[in-house]
Amino acid sequence: MSEFRKITIALEQGFKDDSVRISIGDRLVHWLDHVKTRAKIGVAHTLELSLPAGNDPVQVELPSKDVRISIEPGMGEACYWGVSVSPNGKAMYVKRSVEPFAYV
């Protein structure tokens, strides 16, 4: 019996009508088109992933911009991840939390 860990990923700042590819290891799990940050709340899209047991990284990628981040799941309790694109659009970064993010 395999164990799964639930992770909530919020695509936050810097998304500008982007296609977003999300993979676990080599397996594509989500492909989203026209992802755009809503300025009033600072989030573009939220989704839940079930990570299989193991340490396969989660990749979030903007294929058309050749920008990606590989996130090691680790063993911590942080199950809320916020992923943003840098202001220059050439890098991505992640913040982790044990509590849900509050979007106002």
**Inside any domain, residue 51:** yes
Q: How far apart are CA 29 and CA 13, in angstroms?
A: 21
Residue 53 is assigned to a structural domain of this protein: yes
- Residue 34, domain extent: 4-97
Q: What CATH number does the domain containing 46 carry?
A: 2.60.40.2890
Beta bridge partners of 51: 5
Per-residue confidence (pLDDT) for residue 57, from 0 to 100: 94
Structural domain contains residue 38: yes
pLDDT in tens, the chain (104 residues): 458 889 999 999 999 999 999 999 999 999 999 999 999 999 999 999 998 877 899 999 999 999 999 999 877 777 999 999 999 999 999 999 999 988 74
Exposed (0-12), middle (13-18) or buried (19+): which is 71, by Cβ within 10 Å?
middle
104 in a domain, yes or no?
no
Counting the structural domains of the chain, the total is 1
Q: DSSP letter string over 54-102?
A: S-PPEEEEEGGGTEEEEE---SSS--EEEEEE-TTSS-EEEEEESSPPP
Q: Has residue 103 been placed in a domain?
A: no
Check: CB of residue 50 under 8 Å from CB of residue 56.
no
